[in-house]
Amino acid sequence: MSGRLLVLGGPTAAGKTALAMAIAERWPVRLVSADAMQVYRGLNIGTGKPSPEELRRFPHDNIDVRDPHEEFSAMDLADGADARLRAGEDVVVVGGTGFYLRALLIGFAPTPAVDPALRATLDALPNPHAALAAIDPASAARLHPNDRVRLVRALEVFHLTGRPMSVVHAEHPVGAPRWPARRLWVDRPDLDARIDARVLQMVDQGYVAEVEGLLNRGVSRELKPMRSLGYRWMCALVAGEIPLSEAIEGTQRDTRRFAKKQRQMLRSIGGFEPVNADDLDAVLTIAADTFGPA
């Protein structure tokens, strides 16, 4: 018999991880991170990872499993969670990377495998968003101009198949859910203010020093994780290109915009029940309905 699945999705900084750990404190569940940046070793403060002590108490799959130059895909997430569920483990998936949650919950239209040479060429484009808008305006409208990973993938699919990604998806509607799951949408009305405060807290915790250490160890600022949200701003700060105030403001602004994109992406998946991040009792009641008495 397969395990039971509870998904805690929602925008960044909403408080999903704290709820997941509260559940794991009461039920023998496996926590599975669905955060695309927490997979990378060394990127700790800027990705909002649980502390080392919290990870010792509540281990998470998919945290600190790759070096910054290594790839981790949505299917890696789905395959790992699939294996645990098939083994009969109860699983709580927690994170806001919609692409990962889509892979686990409903899957994707079939697309060609990555072509490394073509990927490298497309990744070097100065403005992949403009390039995509010229051939697939529907996909370009859906993706943020800074979302290079998905922009490049959409370009790659077009060059390999001769058809826009939006057309490929339209021709292959997603079928039934891959797993029966209770899906919670964790959000809060004061999210923007919480994001701004969280960025300031990250700086106080040593965000700049973390980025400086990564760069000093030879981690290129051109790698995907180093171009994400605040990391690209902190790289520019460490390089002396901008002042701290600009790095903070840029990180806050990009994170607020990212949260809006997350809301759009997760709502497109569907099936999520809204819950206020501060309502722990409601979340624990739903966990009890899913996993049985604590």
Evaluate whether 266 touches 95 at the Cβ level (below 8 Å).
no
Domains of the chain: 5-108+175-291 (3.40.50.300), 116-171 (1.10.20.140)
CA 284, 287, 293, 294 dihedral sign is negative
pLDDT exceeds 70 at position 8: yes
Task: Label residue 175 by pLDDT band (50, 70, 90).
Answer: low
Evaluate whether 14 touches 277 at the Cβ level (below 8 Å).
yes
Q: Using CA atoms, how far apart are residues 208 and 186, in angstroms rounded to an integer?
A: 29
Beta-carbon count within 10 A of 243 CB: 11
Give me 252's structure tokens. Answer: 């806050």
Phi, psi of 267, rounded to the nearest 5 degrees: -65, -30
The pLDDT score that the predictor gives to residue 147 is 82
Number of H helices, E strands in the chain: 14, 6
Q: Using CA atoms, how far apart are residues 256 and 254, in angstroms rounded to an integer?
A: 5
- Give the residue among 23, 15, 187 at the shortest CA–CA distance from 5: 23
CA distances from 159 to 107, 118, 155 (A): 22, 9, 6
**pTM, whole model, 2 decimals?**
0.81
Residue 222 is classified by DSSP as T
Question: Span 114-134, mean pLDDT?
Answer: 90
CA distances from 184 to 80, 84, 290 (A): 21, 20, 12
pLDDT exceeds 80 at position 152: yes
Q: Using CA atoms, how far apart are residues 167 and 238, in angstroms rounded to an integer?
A: 42
Of all residues in the chain, what percent carry a pLDDT higher than 70? Answer: 98
Phi, psi of 276, rounded to the nearest 5 degrees: -75, 135
